[in-house]
Amino acid sequence: MTKRLMRTGVVLFDGFELLDVAGPLECLGNLRDQFAVTLVGPVAGAVTSTQGPALVADVGWSDAPGVDLVVVPGGQGTRTLADDPAFCGWLAEWSAAASVVASVCTGAGLLASAGLLDGYRATSNKRSFAWVVGRSAQVEWVPKARWVHDRDRWTSAGVAAGIDMTLALVADLHGEELASGLAERIEYDWHRDAEWDPFAAINGLVDG
């Protein structure tokens, strides 16, 4: 179990999915002794979500500090960024020094576009699964999973699944008790089973 303070960078971009970011941040922001979070946007300042509200980035991508944990959300903005070589190059380089790289939802499409999932098992949002899969043939995509943990990569299914994955990550790093206590504090019905995923069948990815 890791006991040191984990420097954590959460990526923001125009058109990020609000809950993809806010779910993990609710978890990590309540564990200040374990995680020190920096929000990293295109530049420092307000970054607007797909849903409208803006979160404030602490620093711009070019000024991103070294971190131990990278978290990449999904959202409509991924569609442009996944084809942006400058962004994908930066993400690959910045993430290379991290001990854990995680994505929520279509954030997996950004990791895949940056080559960060090559040779890994991974999952993503189930409604946009085809788009994500199309980003890399070097990934073993898992259609039915709430999240996938493969070595130093964690990828979750869509939006709310990021909360389940983050709690599982907390449990993996700091023990089940801390994660359970956090889930109770935020009154969240934590799905502890990574294979629980009714949305794969709802979206026709597996037989119902």
Dihedral angle over CA of 137, 100, 174, 8, nearest 10? -130
Of the candidate spans 81-89, 129-137, 156-164, 171-179, the one that interacts with a second copy by CB under 8 A turns out to be 156-164
Of the candidate spans 59-67, 110-118, 135-143, 160-168, the one that interacts with a second copy by CB under 8 A turns out to be 160-168
Q: Which is nearer to a second copy, 114 or 129 (CB)?
A: 129
State yes or no: residue 9 binds a second copy (CB under 8 A): no
**DSSP label at 143?**
S
**Distance in angstroms (rounded) separating the CA atoms of residues 60 and 12:** 9
Q: Give the Cβ contact number of residue 98 at 10 Å.
A: 20
Task: Rule CB under 8 A: choose which of 19, 64, 67, 168 binds a second copy.
Answer: 19
**Distance in angstroms (rounded) separating the CA atoms of residues 23 and 69:** 16
Task: Rule CB under 8 A: choose which of 4, 33, 52, 151 binds a second copy.
Answer: 52
How many residues sit close enough to a second copy to count as binding (CB under 8 A)? 42
Which residues, listed in sequence order, are joined to residue 154 by a DSSP beta bridge?
102, 149
State yes or no: residue 169 binds a second copy (CB under 8 A): no
Q: How far is the CB of 194 from a second copy (least distance, A)?
A: 14
The residues, ordered by sequence, that sit 6+ positions from 198 with a Cβ below 8 Å of its Cβ are none
90 closest CA partner among 160, 127, 28, 40: 40
State yes or no: residue 68 binds a second copy (CB under 8 A): no
Q: What residues make contact with a second copy under the rule CB under 8 A?
A: 17-19, 21-23, 25-26, 28-30, 32, 37, 39, 46, 49-56, 125-127, 157-161, 163, 184-189, 191, 198-199, 202
